[in-house]
């Protein structure tokens, strides 16, 4: 008897998801069946709902999740039923051109199958009641009671970390903390600016602190987000509607500008500000994204002076290494995750959860199963 379970299905862009009974395929190869316990609503999911990020439909969104291993496929190794896991959205083959060069985020198999929203072997793992294939966003599809993932996407973490906190590590926290620790070259005492203080930006603020930054300038358009940034370690809060954030970076640094700027707003204004606010020779890391068909204009002069720009996905994640470390940092009190959860919701409240994210009311709503 195939497994039946509830999933939130997006059939058309800009329409509400519907919670439906869907059917899992049999476990193949190194598949693992994970019972999802908590899944965060990330801005990237919203971009699929609005259509600015284009994926085949019908699809189950959700790519920031934690759960319990429920069953193992015939070749799944190194996991046991009952393990508590955080799920990675970057499965990678381990032996292609890019995997060999330590860039799993560019893995050829990952990039070949990601846009099709299928599993890592190129086929789907769930069906709608009428028998049609159901796509899964970013090799996960976590707005769902169960997800079938490749074994190496399921990273075992300590059982003490609650699932709602753990799930955040799977995308927003890994991206923001990782960008500061794995990608940017933040030196001891550096001045770091973080533009956009959603979950990704609040994680980047904390990553900058862990990397030894001196001043951490948080920039947002929303005072409530800036309050949270201050709670998790920002030393300066800048409302970009009221003041020139680049001028503040210069005033802090003898006129030079910030040593490192992390953009986590996903806004053309944010990308422009990043180039204006960084010092000559400094480093800009873009984490946010806008519609891939958009043009983003930058003042040419703001790019001069040996500035380095890098667009980065997933914070240089090596999930098997980083997820347990991040989970332990939470348990040790050096990484703050409680502050990132604005609401805990049920799966059938997911459309309201995304409406709240659109209105900018929430950092993370987390679906609790
Ligand atoms: N690189 C990656 O791997 C990765 C992973 C997850 C999310 N993202 C992207 O990162 C961005 C942030 O994601 P999130 O989930 O934290 O989103 P979010 O919507 O929760 O947060 C965005 C924040 O930016 C602020 N903001 C918007 N415009 C601004 C501006 N001009 N100046 C300053 N602040 C501004 C908003 O007020 C909000 O607080 C999105 O673009 C998302 O797509 C990237
Ligand atoms: Zn995400
Ligand atoms: Zn590869």
Q: Is 266 in the pocket of ligand 1 (CB under 6 A)?
A: yes
Q: How far is CA 304 from CA 190, 301, 307, 310, in A?
A: 21, 5, 7, 15
Atom of ligand 1 nearest to the CA of 269: 31
Which ligand minimizes its atom distance to the CA of 361? 1
144 inside domain = yes
239 inside domain = yes
Whether residues 106 and 208 fall in one domain: no
161 inside domain = no
Distance, CA 43 to ligand 3 centroid (Å)? 26
Residue closest by Cα to atom 8 of ligand 1: 288
pTM greater than the 0.85 cutoff: yes
Residue closest by Cα to atom 36 of ligand 1: 196
Distance, CA 231 to ligand 2 centroid (Å)? 22
Distance, CA 121 to ligand 1 centroid (Å)? 31
> Range of 262's domain?
176-313
Q: What is the mean pLDDT of residues 332-342?
A: 98
pLDDT at 33: 98
CATH of the domain at 268: 3.40.50.720
Distance, CA of 271 to CA of 40 (rounded, Å): 25
- CA nearest to 304, candidates 275, 266, 273, 344: 275
Whether residues 258 and 357 fall in one domain: no
Distance, CA 42 to ligand 1 centroid (Å)? 9
pLDDT at 98: 98
Q: What is the mean pLDDT of residues 192-216?
A: 98
Q: Is 173 in the pocket of ligand 1 (CB under 6 A)?
A: no
Per residue in 297-307, pLDDT (tens digit) is: 999 999 999 99
Whether residues 180 and 85 fall in one domain: no
128 inside domain = yes
297 inside domain = yes
283 inside domain = yes
Whether residues 151 and 11 fall in one domain: yes
Q: What is the mean pLDDT of residues 40-60?
A: 97
Distance, CA of 148 to CA of 8 (rounded, Å): 15
Distance, CA of 332 to CA of 66 (rounded, Å): 19
Whether residues 299 and 341 fall in one domain: no
pLDDT at 12: 98
Whether residues 84 and 152 fall in one domain: yes
Distance, CA of 195 to CA of 76 (rounded, Å): 41
Q: What is the mean pLDDT of residues 122-129?
A: 97
Distance, CA 95 to ligand 3 centroid (Å)? 5
- Domain count across the chain: 2
Q: Which of 89, 140, 198 to mutate to test the pocket of ligand 1 (most atoms within 8 A of CB)?
A: 198
Which ligand minimizes its atom distance to the CA of 113? 3
Per residue in 4-29, pLDDT (tens digit) is: 999 999 999 999 999 999 999 999 99
Inform me whether the pLDDT recorded for 149 exceeds 90: yes
**Beta strand segments in 205-346, E:** 216-220, 236-239, 258-263, 278-286, 308-311, 341-345
Phi and psi angles of residue 219, each rounded to the nearest 5 degrees, phi first:
-125, 130
Whether residues 303 and 244 fall in one domain: yes
Which run of H or of E encompasses 113?
helix 108-113
Whether residues 221 and 115 fall in one domain: no
Q: Is 239 in the pocket of ligand 1 (CB under 6 A)?
A: no
Whether residues 206 and 129 fall in one domain: no
The pLDDT confidence band at residue 64, using thresholds 50, 70 and 90, is: very high
Per residue in 152-173, pLDDT (tens digit) is: 999 999 999 999 999 999 999 9
pLDDT at 1: 77
212 inside domain = yes
Q: What is the mean pLDDT of the chain?
A: 97
Per residue in 68-125, pLDDT (tens digit) is: 999 999 999 999 999 999 999 999 999 999 999 999 999 999 999 999 999 999 999 9
Q: Is 272 in the pocket of ligand 1 (CB under 6 A)?
A: no
Q: Is 313 in the pocket of ligand 1 (CB under 6 A)?
A: yes
Distance, CA 64 to ligand 3 centroid (Å)? 22
Distance, CA of 154 to CA of 65 (rounded, Å): 10
For helices 223-231 and 199-210, give the axis angle rounded to 10 degrees. 30
Whether residues 306 and 202 fall in one domain: yes
CATH of the domain at 112: 3.90.180.10
Phi and psi angles of residue 40, each rounded to the nearest 5 degrees, phi first:
-85, 150
């Amino acid at each position: 008897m195939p497994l039946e379970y509830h999933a939130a299905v997006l059939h058309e862009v800009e329409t509400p998801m519907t919670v439906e009974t869907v059917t899992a395929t049999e476990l193949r190869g190194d598949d693992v069946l994970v019972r999802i316990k908590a899944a965060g609503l990330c801005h990237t999911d919203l971009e699929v709902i609005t259509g600015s990020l284009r994926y085949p439909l019908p699809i189950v969104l959700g790519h920031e999740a934690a759960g319990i291993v429920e069953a193992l496929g015939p070749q799944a190794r190194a996991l046991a039923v009952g393990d508590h896991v955080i799920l990675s959205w970057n499965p990678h083959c381990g032996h292609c051109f890019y995997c060999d060069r330590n860039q799993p985020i560019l893995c050829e198999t990952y990039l070949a199958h990601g846009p099709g929203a299928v599993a890592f072997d190129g086929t789907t793992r769930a069906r709608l009641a009428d028998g049609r294939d159901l796509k899964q966003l970013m090799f996960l599809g976590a707005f769902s009671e169960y997800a079938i993932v490749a074994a190496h996407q399921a990273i075992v973490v300590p059982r003490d970390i609650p699932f709602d906190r753990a799930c955040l590590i799977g995308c927003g926290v890994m991206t923001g903390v990782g960008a500061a620790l794995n990608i940017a070259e933040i030196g001891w005492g550096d001045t770091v600016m973080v533009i956009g203080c959603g979950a990704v930006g609040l994680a980047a603020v904390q990553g900058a602190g862990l990397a030894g930054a001196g001043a951490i300038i948080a920039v947002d358009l929303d005072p409530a987000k800036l309050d949270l940034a201050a709670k998790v370690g920002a030393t300066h809060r800048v409302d970009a509607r009221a003041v020139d954030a680049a001028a503040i970076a210069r005033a802090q640094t003898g006129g030079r500008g910030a040593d490192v700027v992390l953009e986590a707003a996903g806004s053309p204004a944010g990308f422009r500000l990043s180039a204006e606010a960084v010092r000559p020779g400094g480093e800009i890391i873009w984490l946010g994204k806008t519609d891939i068909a958009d043009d983003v204009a930058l003042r040419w002069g703001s790019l001069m002076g040996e500035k380095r720009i890098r667009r980065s996905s997933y914070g240089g994640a090596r999930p098997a290494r980083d997820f347990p470390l991040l989970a332990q940092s939470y348990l040790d009190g050096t990484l703050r995750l409680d502050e990132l959860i604005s609401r805990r919701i049920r799966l059938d409240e997911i459309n309201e959860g995304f409406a709240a994210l659109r209105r900018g009311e929430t950092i993370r709503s987390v679906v609790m199963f």
